[in-house]
Amino acid sequence: MPKYSVVVPAFQNAPFIEACVRSVLSQNHPDFELVIADHSSTDDTAALLERYADDPRVRLLSTPPGGGAEANWRRVSEAATGEYLKLLPGDDVLYPGALAAHSGALDAHPRVVLVSSRRDIVDARGRVTIAGRGLQGVRRAVQPGVDAVRQTVRRGTNVFGEPGCVTFRRTELEAAGGWDARFPYLIDQTGYTKVLMRGDYLPVDSVLAAFRVNDAQWSVALVNDQAGQAKAYHAWCRSLAPDRISASDVRLGDRRAELMALARRAYYVVNGRRMRAAA
């Protein structure tokens, strides 16, 4: 069993998948596996992945059509065998030292179930549009997971970051029931919350990944639903911990989620051309 599993749920990622894979295989961590499941892509994603089939650290899988993001996220995560798990979308990249930093933090703190870091927001060609985003308002110390969830509710945004920014103990995700798409736009944040309700959280205050915004992302297609799903998520979080997450926390987060949805729409409009992959 490897120490660390990086899992990639690939779908229609031909312009970006090789950069994603290379960013993992170049990590200096001594003991990891890379598991990739292609969700029946119709572009060249599967053919490009075959170039890495002979690397002993790589396992290539396929996921049948249907089921949305949850099907492929579950497929690839359930195939992982490592003690620690990081899901990395096929259009994102890790920065050097990312696995070592997260693995070291979890090794040092046995009660911590999840760690996360800041990331750069980049366009389709990898140019940084927002640097060092994440961990807004989060204490830079070990803390109860529910306190971190309360902070993300109050902020009305995902303070932990996209999956490439996050690592957790694989068995904790399994015990929590795995990925959950009840709020499709927040499938990552919902999964983090289920894990964080089971233990402590630790932010690793470094920029260790890049989240690529491009016009093929399913999250971009869901832009009109963002605020509504965030509000439903906030109410769900309160139902999980009504003694720690108050009605006023939810009201504050709901207002901020509306503003964040507007900000995202503005970002997509301003950066529309930069979100398109090169032909």
Percent of the chain beyond pLDDT 70? 91
pTM: 0.91
Contact (CB, 8 A) for 106 and 112: yes
Q: How far apart are CA 1 and CA 82, in angstroms?
A: 6
* pLDDT (0 to 100) of residue 161: 95
* pLDDT tier at 191, thresholds 50, 70, 90: very high
And the tokens for 271?
A: 């950066």
- What tokens appear for 41 in the block? 């892509």
CA 7 to chain centre: 11
Predicted confidence (pLDDT) at residue 108 exceeds the cutoff of 80: yes
The predicted pLDDT at position 171 comes to 98
3-state secondary structure of 239: helix
**H or E segment to which residue 154 belongs:** helix 145-155
In this predicted structure, what is the pLDDT of residue 53? 97
Q: What is the largest CA-CA distance in the chain?
A: 54
Instruction: Return phi, psi of residue 68, to 5°.
Output: 65, -165
Q: Provide the pLDDT for residue 269.
A: 60
pLDDT tens track for 64-107: 999 999 999 999 999 999 999 999 999 999 999 999 999 999 99
Q: Per-residue confidence at 271, pLDDT binned at 50, 70, 90?
A: low
